[in-house]
Protein backbone atom coordinates (compact mmCIF):
# COMPACT_ATOMS: atom_id res chain seq x y z
CA UNK A 1 0.00 0.00 0.00
CA UNK A 2 2.24 2.75 1.22
CA UNK A 3 5.65 1.24 1.44
CA UNK A 4 7.65 1.33 4.67
CA UNK A 5 8.55 5.00 4.49
CA UNK A 6 4.96 6.15 4.60
CA UNK A 7 3.19 3.51 6.65
CA UNK A 8 4.02 4.95 10.05
CA UNK A 9 3.27 8.46 8.80
CA UNK A 10 -0.11 7.40 7.42
CA UNK A 11 -0.95 5.63 10.66
CA UNK A 12 -0.17 8.81 12.60
CA UNK A 13 -2.22 10.95 10.22
CA UNK A 14 -5.30 8.74 10.49
CA UNK A 15 -4.93 8.27 14.25
CA UNK A 16 -4.64 11.98 14.94
CA UNK A 17 -7.54 12.90 12.70
CA UNK A 18 -9.75 10.09 13.89
CA UNK A 19 -9.16 10.81 17.57
CA UNK A 20 -9.32 14.56 16.81
CA UNK A 21 -6.16 15.29 18.74
CA UNK A 22 -5.30 17.70 15.97
CA UNK A 23 -8.04 19.78 17.60
CA UNK A 24 -8.90 21.93 14.64
CA UNK A 25 -12.35 23.10 13.56
CA UNK A 26 -14.81 20.23 13.36
CA UNK A 27 -15.53 20.76 9.69
CA UNK A 28 -11.78 20.71 8.98
CA UNK A 29 -11.46 17.28 10.60
CA UNK A 30 -14.20 15.84 8.38
CA UNK A 31 -12.72 17.33 5.23
CA UNK A 32 -9.20 16.20 6.10
CA UNK A 33 -10.30 12.66 6.94
CA UNK A 34 -12.14 12.29 3.66
CA UNK A 35 -9.04 13.51 1.82
CA UNK A 36 -6.63 11.11 3.52
CA UNK A 37 -6.10 8.90 0.43
CA UNK A 38 -5.18 11.96 -1.64
CA UNK A 39 -3.05 13.60 1.03
CA UNK A 40 -1.22 10.37 1.85
CA UNK A 41 -0.61 9.66 -1.83
CA UNK A 42 0.88 13.13 -2.38
CA UNK A 43 3.11 12.68 0.65
CA UNK A 44 4.35 9.30 -0.55
CA UNK A 45 4.76 10.40 -4.14
CA UNK A 46 6.98 13.27 -2.99
CA UNK A 47 9.32 10.71 -1.43
CA UNK A 48 9.26 8.10 -4.19
CA UNK A 49 8.04 9.65 -7.48
CA UNK A 50 5.72 6.79 -8.43
CA UNK A 51 5.38 5.41 -11.92
CA UNK A 52 1.92 5.43 -13.49
CA UNK A 53 1.38 1.78 -12.61
CA UNK A 54 2.53 2.29 -9.03
CA UNK A 55 0.28 5.33 -8.68
CA UNK A 56 -2.78 3.28 -9.58
CA UNK A 57 -1.79 0.57 -7.12
CA UNK A 58 -1.03 2.93 -4.25
CA UNK A 59 -4.18 5.02 -4.74
CA UNK A 60 -6.33 1.89 -4.78
CA UNK A 61 -4.68 0.54 -1.64
CA UNK A 62 -5.05 3.86 0.19
CA UNK A 63 -8.74 4.04 -0.71
CA UNK A 64 -9.20 0.47 0.50
CA UNK A 65 -7.31 1.24 3.69
CA UNK A 66 -9.48 4.24 4.45
CA UNK A 67 -12.69 2.28 3.85
CA UNK A 68 -11.49 -0.42 6.25
CA UNK A 69 -10.51 2.20 8.82
CA UNK A 70 -13.84 4.01 8.51
CA UNK A 71 -15.80 0.81 9.03
CA UNK A 72 -13.72 -0.93 11.70
CA UNK A 73 -11.69 1.69 13.55
CA UNK A 74 -13.78 4.86 13.83
CA UNK A 75 -16.32 3.19 16.18
CA UNK A 76 -13.48 2.48 18.60
CA UNK A 77 -12.37 6.12 18.48
CA UNK A 78 -15.94 7.23 19.12
CA UNK A 79 -16.01 5.02 22.21
CA UNK A 80 -12.71 6.50 23.38
CA UNK A 81 -13.97 10.05 22.91
CA UNK A 82 -17.03 9.23 24.99
CA UNK A 83 -14.82 7.97 27.81
CA UNK A 84 -12.66 11.08 27.61
CA UNK A 85 -15.70 13.32 27.89
CA UNK A 86 -16.64 11.53 31.10
CA UNK A 87 -13.15 12.14 32.51
CA UNK A 88 -12.82 15.82 31.61
CA UNK A 89 -14.97 17.31 34.43
CA UNK A 90 -12.83 15.62 37.11
CA UNK A 91 -9.14 15.56 37.95
CA UNK A 92 -7.21 12.79 36.22
CA UNK A 93 -4.06 10.91 37.13
CA UNK A 94 -0.94 10.32 35.08
CA UNK A 95 -1.88 6.64 35.01
CA UNK A 96 -5.26 7.45 33.46
CA UNK A 97 -3.61 9.69 30.87
CA UNK A 98 -1.19 6.91 29.95
CA UNK A 99 -4.06 4.45 29.62
CA UNK A 100 -5.46 6.67 26.88
CA UNK A 101 -2.05 6.82 25.21
CA UNK A 102 -1.72 3.04 25.36
CA UNK A 103 -5.18 2.65 23.84
CA UNK A 104 -4.29 4.93 20.91
CA UNK A 105 -0.97 3.14 20.39
CA UNK A 106 -2.73 -0.23 20.27
CA UNK A 107 -5.09 1.10 17.61
CA UNK A 108 -2.08 2.24 15.59
CA UNK A 109 -0.58 -1.24 15.83
CA UNK A 110 -3.83 -2.71 14.46
CA UNK A 111 -3.54 -0.41 11.46
CA UNK A 112 0.09 -1.37 10.93
CA UNK A 113 -0.83 -5.05 10.93
CA UNK A 114 -3.61 -4.46 8.42
CA UNK A 115 -1.35 -2.43 6.11
CA UNK A 116 1.57 -4.84 6.14
CA UNK A 117 0.65 -6.99 3.10
CA UNK A 118 0.10 -3.93 0.91
CA UNK A 119 3.38 -2.40 2.11
CA UNK A 120 5.16 -5.56 1.03
CA UNK A 121 3.56 -5.45 -2.41
CA UNK A 122 4.49 -1.80 -2.89
CA UNK A 123 8.10 -2.25 -1.79
CA UNK A 124 8.58 -5.06 -4.29
CA UNK A 125 7.84 -2.67 -7.17
CA UNK A 126 10.33 0.06 -6.25
CA UNK A 127 13.46 0.74 -8.31
CA UNK A 128 16.96 1.83 -7.35
CA UNK A 129 16.23 5.23 -8.88
CA UNK A 130 13.26 5.64 -6.56
CA UNK A 131 15.37 4.53 -3.62
CA UNK A 132 17.88 7.25 -4.49
CA UNK A 133 15.04 9.77 -4.64
CA UNK A 134 13.88 8.60 -1.23
CA UNK A 135 17.35 9.13 0.21
CA UNK A 136 17.51 12.70 -1.10
CA UNK A 137 14.07 13.48 0.31
CA UNK A 138 15.09 12.05 3.68
CA UNK A 139 17.97 14.52 3.71
CA UNK A 140 15.64 17.43 2.93
CA UNK A 141 13.21 16.36 5.62
CA UNK A 142 16.02 16.04 8.13
CA UNK A 143 17.10 19.60 7.47
CA UNK A 144 13.58 20.81 8.31
CA UNK A 145 13.47 18.59 11.40
CA UNK A 146 16.76 19.97 12.63
CA UNK A 147 15.52 23.50 12.13
CA UNK A 148 12.43 22.77 14.21
CA UNK A 149 14.02 20.80 17.04
CA UNK A 150 17.82 21.06 17.06
CA UNK A 151 19.12 24.21 15.42
CA UNK A 152 18.96 27.53 17.21
CA UNK A 153 19.67 28.74 20.70
CA UNK A 154 18.28 27.04 23.79
CA UNK A 155 15.97 30.02 24.25
CA UNK A 156 14.65 29.80 20.69
CA UNK A 157 14.00 26.06 20.96
CA UNK A 158 12.30 26.51 24.33
CA UNK A 159 10.03 29.22 22.93
CA UNK A 160 9.04 27.00 20.00
CA UNK A 161 8.06 24.16 22.32
CA UNK A 162 6.25 26.50 24.70
CA UNK A 163 4.30 28.13 21.88
CA UNK A 164 3.32 24.72 20.52
CA UNK A 165 2.17 23.53 23.95
CA UNK A 166 0.03 26.63 24.47
CA UNK A 167 -1.54 26.22 21.03
CA UNK A 168 -2.52 22.59 21.73
CA UNK A 169 -3.94 23.48 25.14
CA UNK A 170 -5.96 26.36 23.70
CA UNK A 171 -7.49 24.03 21.14
CA UNK A 172 -8.82 21.75 23.86
CA UNK A 173 -9.61 24.16 26.69
CA UNK A 174 -10.48 27.28 24.70
CA UNK A 175 -7.80 29.46 26.24
CA UNK A 176 -5.18 29.04 28.93
CA UNK A 177 -4.34 31.68 31.52
CA UNK A 178 -0.98 33.04 32.65
CA UNK A 179 -0.69 30.57 35.51
CA UNK A 180 -1.22 27.65 33.14
CA UNK A 181 1.23 29.05 30.59
CA UNK A 182 3.81 29.33 33.36
CA UNK A 183 3.10 25.75 34.40
CA UNK A 184 3.73 24.53 30.84
CA UNK A 185 6.96 26.51 30.76
CA UNK A 186 8.10 24.82 33.97
CA UNK A 187 7.21 21.40 32.56
CA UNK A 188 9.32 22.05 29.47
CA UNK A 189 12.24 23.24 31.58
CA UNK A 190 12.13 20.03 33.65
CA UNK A 191 11.53 17.77 30.66
CA UNK A 192 13.90 14.97 29.78
CA UNK A 193 13.23 15.56 26.09
CA UNK A 194 16.41 15.21 24.05
CA UNK A 195 16.06 16.25 20.43
CA UNK A 196 19.42 14.70 19.53
CA UNK A 197 18.24 11.29 20.68
CA UNK A 198 15.07 11.56 18.65
CA UNK A 199 17.09 12.66 15.64
CA UNK A 200 19.41 9.68 15.97
CA UNK A 201 16.42 7.32 15.98
CA UNK A 202 14.98 9.12 12.96
CA UNK A 203 18.23 8.54 11.09
CA UNK A 204 18.35 4.90 12.20
CA UNK A 205 14.91 4.28 10.79
CA UNK A 206 15.78 5.96 7.51
CA UNK A 207 18.95 3.92 7.15
CA UNK A 208 16.98 0.78 7.98
CA UNK A 209 14.40 1.61 5.31
CA UNK A 210 17.02 2.28 2.64
CA UNK A 211 18.96 -0.89 3.42
CA UNK A 212 15.91 -3.14 3.63
CA UNK A 213 14.23 -1.80 0.50
CA UNK A 214 17.59 -1.95 -1.28
CA UNK A 215 17.76 -5.64 -0.40
CA UNK A 216 14.23 -6.17 -1.72
CA UNK A 217 15.09 -4.41 -4.97
CA UNK A 218 18.18 -6.58 -5.41
CA UNK A 219 16.11 -9.79 -5.04
CA UNK A 220 12.69 -9.00 -6.51
CA UNK A 221 11.80 -12.64 -7.21
CA UNK A 222 12.32 -13.88 -3.65
CA UNK A 223 8.80 -13.29 -2.37
CA UNK A 224 9.29 -15.12 0.91
CA UNK A 225 12.40 -13.10 1.74
CA UNK A 226 10.66 -9.85 0.80
CA UNK A 227 7.77 -10.63 3.12
CA UNK A 228 10.06 -11.45 6.01
CA UNK A 229 12.32 -8.45 5.44
CA UNK A 230 9.40 -6.04 5.25
CA UNK A 231 7.68 -7.59 8.26
CA UNK A 232 10.85 -7.18 10.27
CA UNK A 233 11.30 -3.60 9.06
CA UNK A 234 7.79 -2.64 10.11
CA UNK A 235 8.33 -4.26 13.50
CA UNK A 236 11.52 -2.23 13.99
CA UNK A 237 9.63 0.90 12.99
CA UNK A 238 7.07 0.25 15.72
CA UNK A 239 9.57 -0.88 18.36
CA UNK A 240 13.13 0.38 18.03
CA UNK A 241 15.90 -2.23 18.37
CA UNK A 242 17.87 0.42 20.26
CA UNK A 243 17.39 -0.38 23.95
CA UNK A 244 18.59 3.07 25.02
CA UNK A 245 16.03 4.76 22.78
CA UNK A 246 13.25 2.48 24.05
CA UNK A 247 14.11 3.45 27.61
CA UNK A 248 14.21 7.12 26.68
CA UNK A 249 10.85 6.87 24.90
CA UNK A 250 9.28 5.27 27.95
CA UNK A 251 10.58 8.07 30.17
CA UNK A 252 9.26 10.73 27.79
CA UNK A 253 5.89 8.98 27.50
CA UNK A 254 5.44 8.81 31.27
CA UNK A 255 6.54 12.41 31.53
CA UNK A 256 4.01 13.47 28.91
CA UNK A 257 1.20 11.67 30.73
CA UNK A 258 2.13 13.35 34.01
CA UNK A 259 2.39 16.78 32.37
CA UNK A 260 -1.03 16.50 30.75
CA UNK A 261 -2.60 15.34 34.00
CA UNK A 262 -0.97 18.22 35.90
CA UNK A 263 -2.17 20.79 33.40
CA UNK A 264 -5.69 19.37 33.32
CA UNK A 265 -5.87 19.32 37.10
CA UNK A 266 -5.05 23.03 37.07
CA UNK A 267 -7.85 23.97 34.68
CA UNK A 268 -11.03 25.79 35.64
CA UNK A 269 -14.58 24.38 35.52
CA UNK A 270 -15.27 26.50 32.43
CA UNK A 271 -12.18 25.15 30.68
CA UNK A 272 -13.18 21.58 31.46
CA UNK A 273 -16.67 22.29 30.16
CA UNK A 274 -15.07 23.59 26.96
CA UNK A 275 -12.98 20.42 26.66
CA UNK A 276 -16.12 18.29 26.91
CA UNK A 277 -17.76 20.40 24.19
CA UNK A 278 -14.73 20.06 21.91
CA UNK A 279 -14.56 16.30 22.34
CA UNK A 280 -18.32 15.98 21.86
CA UNK A 281 -17.99 17.87 18.60
CA UNK A 282 -15.36 15.43 17.42
CA UNK A 283 -17.49 12.50 18.48
CA UNK A 284 -20.30 13.80 16.29
CA UNK A 285 -17.87 14.32 13.42
CA UNK A 286 -16.61 10.77 13.68
CA UNK A 287 -20.15 9.42 13.77
CA UNK A 288 -20.87 11.29 10.56
CA UNK A 289 -17.67 9.97 8.98
CA UNK A 290 -18.35 6.41 10.13
CA UNK A 291 -21.77 6.47 8.45
CA UNK A 292 -20.38 7.66 5.11
CA UNK A 293 -19.72 5.01 2.49
**pLDDT one-digit tens code per residue, 77-125:** 899 899 999 999 999 999 999 998 888 888 888 888 888 888 888 888 9
264 CB-contact burial (10 Å; exposed 0-12 / middle 13-18 / buried 19+): buried
Model confidence over 139-191: pLDDT tens digits?
999 999 999 999 999 999 999 999 999 998 998 999 999 999 999 999 999 99
* Percent of the chain residues past pLDDT 90, beyond the cut: 57
User: Which residues, including other chains, have CB under 8 Å from residue 243's CB and lie 6 or more apart?
Assistant: none
User: Which residues, including other chains, have CB under 8 Å from residue 282's CB and lie 6 or more apart?
Assistant: 19, 20, 26, 29, 81
pLDDT of 29 reads 67
In the chain, helix, strand, coil percent, each to 5? 85, 0, 15
Write the Ramachandran bin of 31: left for phi over 0, alpha for psi from -120 to 50, otherwise beta. alpha
Is the pLDDT reported for residue 19 higher than 60? no
pLDDT of 28 reads 60
Report the first-to-last Cα separation within the chain, whole angstroms: 20
Model confidence over 44-77: pLDDT tens digits?
899 999 999 999 999 999 999 989 999 999 999 8
Please tell me the distance from the alpha carbon of residue 96 to that of residue 21, in angstroms, as a whole number.
Answer: 17
Cβ atoms of 42 and 72 within 8 Å: the answer is: no
Cβ atoms of 76 and 107 within 8 Å: the answer is: yes
Amino acid sequence: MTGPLGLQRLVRIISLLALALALQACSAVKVAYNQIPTLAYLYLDWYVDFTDAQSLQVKAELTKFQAWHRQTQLPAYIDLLQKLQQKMPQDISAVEACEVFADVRQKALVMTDYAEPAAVRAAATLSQKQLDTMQRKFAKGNAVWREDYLDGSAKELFEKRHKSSIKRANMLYGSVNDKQRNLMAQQIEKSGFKAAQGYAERQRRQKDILQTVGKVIANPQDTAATQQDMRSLLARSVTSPDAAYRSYLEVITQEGCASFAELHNNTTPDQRKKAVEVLAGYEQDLRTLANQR
